[in-house]
Amino acid sequence: MSDSSQYTVILANGSFPRRKCLLEMLHAAARIVCCDGAAANLLRAGLEPDLVVGDLDSLDPALRKRFGKRLVHESEQETNDLSKAFRACMARGWRTVVILGAGGRREDHLLGNASLLPLFAAAGADVRMETDYGTFLPVLKSASFRRPVGTKVSIFSFHPEMPVTASGLKYPLDKLRLPFWWCGTLNETDAPEFSLAFDGSAPLLLYFPR
């Protein structure tokens, strides 16, 4: 991330982070924006939200009163609370974002939330999603990444016909199309840096398991 000391955590209302590294990330954030009912979980962890965003249908009336001016009520149902929280961050110029609590409970929520990452990145955010099991990172254009040799990585494409080339991996890709999400999974680095090359007609999504 561009400025790790000034990142904003968006806490979604999925499974609350359990790993020590994620809890430390939560405590070190410059600010915390909660998706609706996630605010109650944050309070139980001894922290206060800077904003609570959503249609507020999952928020206890007593907490609505407590948070007062920190509430951002968005009643529209065309987007989910994570998208609403992200928009609130962007409107305030908070562009370095770590998303926590977006997994667990329901796998369809996890898939839906992960699929939003490229949209958030295209809107100008430096964004990633952290779960207890790994990191999701959107990639909008060809890029290189430094990771220790042996780092596990999966590559997901949002366009079945877009050729992807990857070097520095145990299983390199040479203009390979990834028509299904399993096609680019279960790879690993075999060099200190790996590179992805693609035409940018659609984004890629990387997943690094812990």
Q: What is the pLDDT of residue 5?
A: 57
Please give the average per-residue pLDDT across 19-34, as a whole number: 96
What is the percent of the chain where pLDDT is above 90? 79
Query: What's the rounded Cα separation, in Å, for the pair 142 and 156?
Result: 14
Beta-carbon neighbour count of residue 24 at 10 Å?
Answer: 11
Please give the average per-residue pLDDT across 29-36, as a whole number: 95
Give residue-wise pLDDT tens across range 121-178. 999 999 999 999 999 999 999 999 999 999 999 999 999 999 999 999 999 999 999 9
Domain parsing of the chain, residue ranges: 4-133, 143-209
Is the pLDDT higher at 36 or at 117?
117
Please give the average per-residue pLDDT across 100-104, as a whole number: 90
Whether residue 1 is predicted with pLDDT greater than 70 in this model: the reply is no
Q: What is the pLDDT of residue 3?
A: 46
What tokens does 198 get?
A: 């693609």
Could you give the angle at which helices 81-91 and 107-122 cross, rounded to 10 degrees? 30
Query: What's the rounded Cα separation, in Å, for the pair 187 and 207?
Result: 10
Instruction: Tell me what the pLDDT averaged over the chain comes to.
Output: 92
Q: Looking at 24-28, 108-112, 174-178, which range is the least confident one?
A: 108-112
This prediction's pTM: 0.93
Give residue-wise pLDDT tens across range 188-204. 999 999 999 999 999 99
CATH superfamily of 4-133: Thiamin pyrophosphokinase, catalytic domain (3.40.50.10240)
Please give the average per-residue pLDDT across 62-73, as a whole number: 85
